[in-house]
Chain A
């Protein structure tokens, strides 16, 4: 069984640019959540996708957007990058959008904004 994978591993962008991060969910999982983890801090919930629809959103501006595809993989898009967007971006998949189902995390994408 393949776990959660993310690409790319590392990314360097400049302020104002746009970035797309990708996540492949674990087999059998239809729910993907995205988190931002700034250096030395705990992850912060960005949003969740369930069966290709956004199923909840944290306190992030609209320039953070996402997609989920029919195979339940997902993308996180960030427009107009700011220096504070530099962080580790984690995705997590689960069988259902419920706290009773364990979220399995990917290794993350390290984004650096210069």
Chain B
């Protein structure tokens, strides 16, 4: 079974600064997918970024980027130039070659004005 661990329950960051969220996972598979999802206080979960394990290049989406370390089974998310709208719960998730998403417990990010 795959497990996803997010060790930071809460993070706080000043507007315009950078924050990095940690995620580790455990799997014996070699091909898989990793995701970061954002759940704002309004509750609708939104995909932030996705990484395919077979790709060595780290994924980026505008101000969001990941540091994927396959050997260490680590998948951190960096939010640059933080904005008030980034305030949300962030979930790291894992999927094998199917569809079932396995989520971590989440990290609450608060951006301070």
Contact indicator A106/B98 (Cβ below 8 Å): no
Q: How far is the CA of A97 from the CA of B96 in the complex (A)?
A: 12
Contact indicator B97/A99 (Cβ below 8 Å): yes
The listed residue (A42, A88, A106) touching B104 by CB distance below 8 A is A42
Q: How large is the interface on B (under 10, 10 to 19, 20 to 34, 35 or more residues)?
A: 20 to 34
The listed residue (A56, A107, A108) touching B100 by CB distance below 8 A is A56
Q: Given A31-B99, A45-B102, A48-B100, check contact A102 B50 (CB 8 Å).
A: yes
Enumerate B51-99 residues with CB–CB distance to A below 8 Å: 91, 93, 95-99
- Please give, as numbers and ranges, the residues of chain B lying within 8 Å of A104 by CB-CB distance: 47
Proximity string of chain A (98-114) to chain B, C-beta cutoff 8 Å, 1 when within and 0 when not: 11101111111000000
Enumerate A39-87 residues with CB–CB distance to B below 8 Å: 40-45, 48, 55-56, 58
Contact indicator B99/A105 (Cβ below 8 Å): no
Q: How far is the CA of A92 from the CA of B16 in the complex (A)?
A: 32
Contact indicator B99/A42 (Cβ below 8 Å): no
Q: How far is the CA of A56 from the CA of B102 in the complex (A)?
A: 14
Asked if A94 CB lies within 8 Å of chain B CBs, one says yes
Q: How many residues of A contact B (CB 8 A)?
A: 28
Proximity string of chain B (4-37) to chain A, C-beta cutoff 8 Å, 1 when within and 0 when not: 1000000000000000000000000000110001
Contact indicator B47/A107 (Cβ below 8 Å): no
Residues of B within 8 A of A (CB): 4, 32-33, 37, 42-47, 50, 91, 93, 95-106
Residues of A within 8 A of B (CB): 31, 33, 35, 40-45, 48, 55-56, 58, 88, 90, 92, 94, 97-100, 102-108
